[in-house]
Amino acid sequence: MSTEPSAAPTKAALKALAKTLAPWQPPVVDGMRDKRGSAGRAGVPSMKDFNPSATPFSSGDKARDKAVVEELATDLDVLQNLFFADKRHKLLVILQGTDTSGKDGTLRGVFGRISPLGVRTFGWKAPTEEERAHDFLWRIHQKLPGAGEVMIFNRSHYEDVLVPPVNGWISPAQTARRYQHINDFERMLCDTGTVVLKFMLHISFDEQRARLQERIDDPTKHWKFSAGDIEVRKQWKLYQRAYASLLQATSTPWAPWTVVPSDSKTHRNLMIATVVRATLQQLGLRYPPGDPALAGVTVT
């Protein structure tokens, strides 16, 4: 296995990547002004604008796609080691999505081969009593990456603009204020050296049904199933509207959203791994200079 980082993508390759990604990145909002996104859509998007069964990054050959994911995972391992040595940046990867959308599968398929050196993951649950005693971003700040670190969030602070509004626990005005707080928070992170990648894993209603049923039918997956999953599924339309609203309100120039069509698990991993690798390759990562005192030293 190579220990050298892969070459940075050419301008043509980056342009091609941007073109493929464009339909999957909602219009960005900058301050109080909405800007048309690369895909040319304006206004509040609907989740129906994004086909969860699409495979824009696929070669059409599933076996080939799986092989490419393996290659990308190897590249990410090499790049992450360089990222850790470089220590000029921090990376926050946010995996957000409904139940069964594949957040755990992404951690295994995309990031599972990365050396644990400098990589952390955290799965967010309902806030504790202590966490509820503070502002909703207080607990998030404590888990952010340090210099040279990669932090992967399984769910995130976006749960606080999904669950409470869907259940009527906060008003539309309070939700709007939280959107702004999140934008300001992420702007601060980016201004202080954190690269923020936000992926919304998007599956269809039918695909979620199949995956939940599999958890019931397969004894090895019973631990993944909760009776509450069925109750939340009854709120599907409400959650789809909440996702559409947050994509519109919080896809910013400094931290844009990428919607990942995820009915295909292989395609999901392929798309996310491609974007993460390209992001790391563009950072100009380099190893720190060697210690001159080591010149000519021979270990005996």
The strand pair at 194-202 and 257-261 is best described as parallel
For the beta carbon of residue 195, count every other beta carbon within 10 angstroms. 21
- Mean pLDDT for all residues in the chain: 92
Domain boundaries, the chain: 11-28+44-125+133-286
Q: Cβ distance 123 to 97 under 8 Å? A: no
Q: Is the confidence at residue 120, as pLDDT, over 50?
A: yes
CATH tag for 11-28+44-125+133-286 (out of 3.40.50.720, 3.20.20.70, 1.10.3210.10, 3.40.50.300): 3.40.50.300
The Cα–Cα gap between 133 and 212 comes to 34
Report field, pTM of the whole predicted structure over 0.85: yes
- pLDDT tens across 152-189, in order? 999 999 999 999 999 999 999 999 999 999 999 999 99
Is-contact 118 85, C-beta < 8 A? no
One DSSP character per residue, 149-179 reads -EEEEES-GGGGGTHHHHTTSS-HHHHHHHH
The dihedral region occupied by 3, where left means phi > 0, alpha psi between -120 and 50, and beta the remainder, is alpha
Q: Tell me: the pLDDT tens digits for 218-267?
A: 999 888 888 888 999 999 999 999 999 999 999 999 999 999 999 999 99
**Predicted pLDDT at 4:** 61
- Percent share of the chain, pLDDT over 90: 80
Radius of gyration of the chain (CA): 20
Average pLDDT over residues 46-63: 96
Residue 269: φ, ψ to 5°:
-65, -40
